[in-house]
């Protein structure tokens, strides 16, 4: 059964609404306003017709410059959203994590992804784009879309941070993150990730690609734990790291909460 949040498309993975969740102060995120997905490079004409019916004003593209150049997104007729991106690479790994990627089995890939997630929020381009994301949400007057290549790792961490900032219960934060595992054709997704990874780091085993095509609770926990270790708390990370003070949080809330 397809979850009601998921909008099934032919050429875009993981397109879904991440609004609608309740918040700690009794509020509720608006539906039909906040969307997340993988990239739109292989969007079909039917896909563009579907997403073209959503009046996007803002697109946050977490991909780096080489990804954007290699996989340009198709856009619906009349597309007029403001697109934010950082041209620096955001999918790259530190040299000590790259060398043996092609030889990793499933348990080793799980461990590598935990290490990867611990550093993910602090990649310069991602850190900058997280600040841009929250700033854009504080000013956006219409629907927004955030995406990366697969819409699961970079996008998953960003959306989980947004949910946390808005007071969504941690169980729902994790639930939305894990919904990636229901939102894509995993076999087709494995093939596309395989093409992407082989171009950069060599051919990978099917078991490793299976790991990479999904998401796991330990990964998001690793990212959040790493943030807390560096900043002491998520609140401090928002305030001092991403420059989301109380005024900006209230501006975001005014736009995304039902009222």
Q: pLDDT tens digits, residue range 21-37?
A: 999 999 999 999 999 99
Q: Provide, for the chain, the percentages of residues in helix, strand and coil under a 3-state DSSP scheme, each rounded to the nearest 5.
A: 50, 10, 35
Q: Which residues contact 7 (CB under 8 A, 6 or more apart)?
A: 15, 16, 17, 50, 51
What is the percent of the chain where pLDDT is above 70?
Answer: 93
pLDDT at 92: 65
Confidence of residue 1 (pLDDT cuts 50, 70, 90): very low
pLDDT at 57: 97
**38-81 pLDDT, tens per residue?**
999 999 999 999 999 999 999 999 999 999 999 999 999 899 99
Q: Where are the domains of the chain?
A: 16-256
Phi, psi of 206 (to 5 degrees): -65, -35
User: Which residue's entry shows tokens 């977490």?
Assistant: 62
Check whether 197 has a pLDDT greater than 80: no
pLDDT at 201: 64
User: Which residue's entry shows tokens 């700690």?
Assistant: 24
With H, G, I as helix, E, B as strand and everything else as coil, classify residue 84: strand
User: Which residue's entry shows tokens 């099917």?
Assistant: 206
**Is domain 16-256 annotated with CATH 3.40.190.10?**
no
CA distance 243 to 73: 30
Instruction: With residue 58 as reference, give the H or E element that holds it.
Output: strand 56-61
Check whether 207 has a pLDDT greater than 90: no
Check whether 2 has a pLDDT greater than 70: no
Q: How many CA atoms within 13 Å lie on the side-chain side of 161?
A: 33
């Amino acid at each position: 059964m397809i979850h009601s949040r998921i909008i099934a498309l032919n050429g875009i993975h993981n397109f879904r609404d991440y609004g609608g969740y309740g918040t700690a102060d009794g509020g509720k995120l608006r539906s039909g306003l906040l969307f997340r997905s993988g990239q739109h490079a292989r969007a079909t004409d039917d896909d563009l017709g579907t997403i073209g019916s959503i009046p996007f004003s803002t697109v946050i593209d977490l991909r780096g410059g080489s990804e954007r150049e290699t996989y340009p997104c198709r856009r619906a007729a009349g597309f007029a959203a403001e697109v934010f991106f950082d041209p620096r690479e955001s999918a790259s790994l530190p040299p000590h994590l790259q060398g043996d990627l092609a030889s990793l089995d499933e348990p080793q890939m799980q461990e590598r992804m935990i290490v990867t997630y611990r550093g993910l929020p602090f990649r310069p381009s991602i850190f900058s784009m997280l600040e841009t994301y929250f700033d854009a949400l504080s000013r956006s007057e219409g629907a927004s879309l955030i995406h990366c290549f697969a819409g699961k790792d970079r996008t998953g961490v960003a959306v989980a941070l947004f949910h946390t900032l808005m007071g969504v219960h941690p169980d729902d934060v994790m639930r939305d993150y894990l919904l990636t595992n229901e939102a894509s054709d995993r076999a087709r997704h494995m093939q596309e990730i395989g093409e992407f990874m082989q171009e950069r780091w060599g051919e990978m085993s099917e078991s490793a690609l299976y790991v990479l095509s999904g998401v796991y609770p330990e990964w998001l926990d690793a990212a959040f734990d790493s943030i807390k270790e560096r900043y002491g708390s998520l609140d401090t990370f928002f305030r001092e790291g991403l420059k989301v003070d109380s005024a900006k949080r209230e501006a975001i809330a005014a736009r995304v909460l039902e009222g």
